[in-house]
Amino acid sequence: MRVVVVGGTGHIGTWLVPRLVAGGHEVVVLSRGRRAPYPHPAQQPDPQQVVPEQVVVDRDAEDAAGTFGTRVRSLEADAVVDLVCFTPDSARALTDALAGSGTHLVHVGTIWAHGPSRLVPTREDSPRRPVTPYGVAKAAIEDHLHAVTRAGDLDASVVMPGHISGPGWLPITPAGDLDPGVFRALATGGPVTLPDDGLATLQHVHADDVAAVVEAALDRREVAAGRSWHAVAEQAVTLRAYAEEAARWWGREADLRLLPLEQWRAQADPEQVATTLDHLAHRPCCSMDAVRDELGVRPAHTLLDTVREAVASVAEEHGIPPLG
């Protein structure tokens, strides 16, 4: 297939593009051209490696000008993977341009479109009750894409990742935030304060496992079209268990302090509070059964291996001691 990947140098694209090239597809990468891909084994120099076509595009500017959709259609792709669509208007502009083209559109959404967990594990067809602007927008995009598929205008599929993690960037920490000091404390035996009872859940996923679900959706268009598919680790982890396991990476026992929510909030870093509260509200725990049974994909990375790999890759950058 000829596959256009919009946002192909980011977290997921770094792993997806080499997968597609290795699978024999002709790949065109659209990006702003402002950064290199994240670390990936396949990026080592290989004179035999096929280099995908690179197109520099400012999507926001072209969306505003009304030209992005027609630009993508002009590339005459069999499939388009959209990794960086965040508003319903942007999604509609692309689907309007691709309508009737025969292209398969795979949109990467988020499990935040579900809203807070209710019956767990959450399935793809669970009722949507998003509570954040990001989740609301992604749920609206999802609804639109499934509507155009039902109408016969375009085949569209949605892949819903959890907390995307991998080498090159800090993962969500056991405190549900992005503070590297949490890992520094666990590495050195210092205290770590967790909100409430520490039993809220997180569900990281390796970026390569997200890429595998996208690839499967492309390969099995007849199954994937008109559907949403989770891309998460096979298990969720509580904040407390995550902290305890992470401390063992440095041969430590976690020194955990649990505080009722309001007390925790009073002493927490104000810059991190919103991120933690977002994760406390959602407590994600999503099922991968449909992906396994219908797309034939199982995550190749466990949740804890994923976050360990991510932390190890950025430890020096964030002043975290090397992992044992």
What does the pLDDT look like over 37-90, one tens digit per residue? Answer: 666 665 544 544 567 889 999 999 999 999 999 999 999 999 999 999 999 999
User: Whole-model pTM?
Assistant: 0.95
How far apart (Å, rounded) are the C-alpha atoms in residues 67 and 90? 11
Torsion over CA: 269, 275, 281, 285 (sign): negative
Any domain includes 252 = yes
Q: What angle do CA 146, 151, 157 make, to 5 degrees?
A: 30
Percent of the chain with pLDDT over 70: 95
pLDDT reported for residue 48: 46
Q: Encoding tokens for residue 75? A: 């590339």
Give the number of other Cβ atoms within 10 Å of residue 29's Cβ: 25
Any domain includes 175 = yes
Q: Which of 186, 212, 231 is the last residue of a domain?
A: 231
Q: What is the mean pLDDT of residues 156-172?
A: 97
How far apart (Å, rounded) are the C-alpha atoms in residues 158 and 160? 6
Q: What residue numbers bound the domain in which 279 lies?
A: 169-202+235-284+302-314
Same structural domain for residues 83 and 225? yes
Same structural domain for residues 109 and 197? no
CATH number of the domain within which 132 lies: 3.40.50.720
Owner of token pair 């689907």: 95
How far apart (Å, rounded) are the C-alpha atoms in residues 192 and 174? 9
The candidate with the shortest Cα–Cα distance to 142, out of 112, 97, 103, 99, is: 112
Range in 1-5, 40-44, 253-257, 275-279 the model is least confident about: 40-44
Same structural domain for residues 306 and 179? yes
Q: What is the mean pLDDT of residues 105-131?
A: 97
Provide the pLDDT confidence category of residue 190 given band limits of 50, 70 and 90.
very high
Identify whether the C-beta of residue 315 lies closer than 8 Å to the C-beta of residue 321.
yes
Let me know if 236 is exposed, middle or buried by CB neighbors in 10 A (0-12, 13-18, 19+): buried
Count of domains for the chain: 2
pLDDT in tens, 212-230: 999 999 999 999 999 999 9
Any domain includes 319 = no
How far apart (Å, rounded) are the C-alpha atoms in residues 286 and 228? 13
Same structural domain for residues 80 and 93? yes
Identify whether the C-beta of residue 269 lies closer than 8 Å to the C-beta of residue 127.
no
pLDDT reported for residue 324: 74
Question: 16: part of which helix (H) or strand (E)?
Answer: helix 13-22
32: pLDDT strictly greater than 80: yes
35: pLDDT strictly greater than 80: no
pLDDT reported for residue 112: 97
Any domain includes 120 = yes
CATH number of the domain within which 268 lies: 3.90.25
Identify whether the C-beta of residue 109 lies closer than 8 Å to the C-beta of residue 142.
yes
Radius of gyration of the chain (CA): 20
Same structural domain for residues 21 and 40? yes
